[in-house]
Structure 1
Amino acid sequence: MIKLIALDLDNTLLNSQKQISPANERELRRLHEAGMKVVLCTGRPINAIWNYIEQLGLTEPEDATITFNGGLVLDNTTRKVLAQRGMSKQALQPLYQFAKEQGVPLDVLDFDRVYPVNDLGSSIYRDKLNGKIDFEPRSFVDLPEQEYAKGILANTSAELDQLQRALPDSVKQQYHIVRSQPEILEFLPPKVDKAVGLADLLHHFGWDFSNLMAFGDAENDAGMLEKAAVGVAMGNASPEIKQIANYITTTNDADGVAVFLSQYFPKE
């Protein structure tokens, strides 16, 4: 039985205007009010998506969110950490060295803020993120010795294509690397993805992947679509993601989430 609906944001739940459509809001509120868990799964911090959480009414006891692409699971109302998976500053050294050799900017995130690595120049990440999170430029050597969520290479799509091709095995083996958007390449701790965060959350509720429905469109959604009992690819998803999914719905600009939910969970 499906008890939890997990939703990617960009190009899945959100339309091209970065909005949750009235139809999507209506269906998700209907199911949430009926007792279904509705969980947003994103690479962003929770503050950057709080407006969406409030719009959907996901502020009841035990409502939760998967952030940092599975690295952090939070209770929405108490902000209690339900699960956290990060990496050390030392683990980021190979990525920093690669960015330095390639002459490209690097942003490093802990679970509270972004550190633009200013000895490598500035990136487009702040504009792409467009969210409520502090940016504190630091040189790499001055980064605190603490746990980090991920590293980010943010650049034009064409530039990131070239950088991905140039990645040496010594870097590839250190991280779980995902292209969350055409202009954003993320370097996560090994084996961390949205499926890992969802496994933690499902375990918290005493459930498993047989209770999960997931919606996504991109590479960083592959794990959760593969594991979910019901994996739904958007009509605008990449061909690879459509192959993984059990179902394909309409596009994010055609209320794809609502269309599928209204058919799968018809009103009585």
Structure 2
Amino acid sequence: MIKMIALDLDNTLLNADKKISEANTQILKKLHKQGKEIVLCTGRPINAIWDWLTQLGLMGENDYSVNFNGSLVIRNVDKKPLMADGMKRAHFGDLHKFCLANEYPLDILDFSGVYPINDLPLSGYEKRLGGNMHFLHVPFAKLPVVDYSKAVICTEPATLDHIVAHMPAQLKQEFHIVRSQPMILEFLKPGIDKGSALDVLLKHFEWTRDNLMTFGDAQNDLEMLASAGVGVAMANGTPEAKQTANQVTAVDNDHDGVANFLTTYFAANN
């Protein structure tokens, strides 16, 4: 029996205008009212998804989100972490040297804000991520002594293609590297992903993966698509996402793919 529905945002629950449609909103509210846990899973921090959480009514005592692609599991209403698994500044030393040598931009995120590294070229991440986020431009050596959730290279897709094809073996060992969007490459702590974060949440509720349904479209969704009892790739998803999932939506994210699948699935399985 499905008890938890976990959803990626970009190109999954969100349409091309970065909005949750009325159809998606209504079905998720309905299922939440029936007792299903609805969990937004994203690379963003909670402040950047607050309006969507409010729109869906996910502010109860048992409502959680997965943030930073799995580094943080947090209770929405009071922003109390259930799990936070970060890295220290030194962990990013080799990555910074790689970006410095190749003139790539780099943003490093803690659990509340973003640090665009300003001894490197300007990143496009701040413009893409936008509202409700604190950005502090600093040189790498001046990063504060705190725990960090991940790092991001945000640049043109062709440049990221080249970076992925020529990624140093050392960096592959030091990070779990995922391409969450065509212009965004993310560097996470090894073993951290959306699937591992959802395992933490399932354990908290004393449920199993058989109780989990997930929706995703891209490389950073693969672990949660593979681990769920019902893993659903979007019709607009990557070939890798569709191969990993055991279901595919009939229509894409701009045509209420999530709502379409949920309506059909629960009509047949109630």
Fold in common (TM above 0.5)? yes
Q: Which residue identity does 2:95 align to in structure 1?
A: L
Unaligned runs of 5+ in 2: none
Aligned partners of 1:150 and 1:187 also within 8 Å: yes
Deviation per CA, 1:194-252: give whole Å up to 9, x if none. Answer: 00111111111111211100000000000000000000000000111101111110210
2:135 corresponding residue in structure 1: 135
Shift of 1:121: 2.6
Asked if 1:80 is matched to 2:75, the reply is no
- Give the alignment of 1:1-268 within 5 angstroms: 1-249=1-249, 250-266=251-267
Compute the RMSD of aligned alpha carbons: 1.0
- Report SS of the residue matched to 1:87: coil
- Report SS of the residue matched to 1:223: helix
Alignment partners' CA distance in 1, 2:193 and 2:131: 21
Alignment length, in residue pairs? Answer: 268
Alignment partners' CA distance in 2, 1:251 and 1:211: 24
Deviation per CA, 1:106-162: give whole Å up to 9, x if none. Answer: 110000110111111311000111231100111111112221101110001011111
Aligned partners of 1:107 and 1:153 also within 8 Å: yes
Q: Which residue identity does 2:227 align to in structure 1?
A: K
Q: Which residue identity does 1:132 align to in structure 2?
A: N
When normalised by structure 1's length, the TM-score is 0.98
- Report SS of the residue matched to 1:224: helix
Alignment partners' CA distance in 1, 2:78 and 2:153: 32
Shift of 1:165: 1.5
Alignment partners' CA distance in 2, 1:130 and 1:209: 34
Query: Which range moves more in the overlay, 222-231 or 78-87?
Result: 78-87
Structure 1 runs (4+) greater than 6 angstroms displaced: none
Percent identity at matched positions?
A: 51
When normalised by structure 2's length, the TM-score is 0.97
Alignment partners' CA distance in 1, 2:5 and 2:42: 14
Deviation per CA, 1:51-110: give whole Å up to 9, x if none. Answer: 110111111111010000010011011111100111111111111011011111111000
Q: Which residue identity does 2:125 align to in structure 1?
A: Y
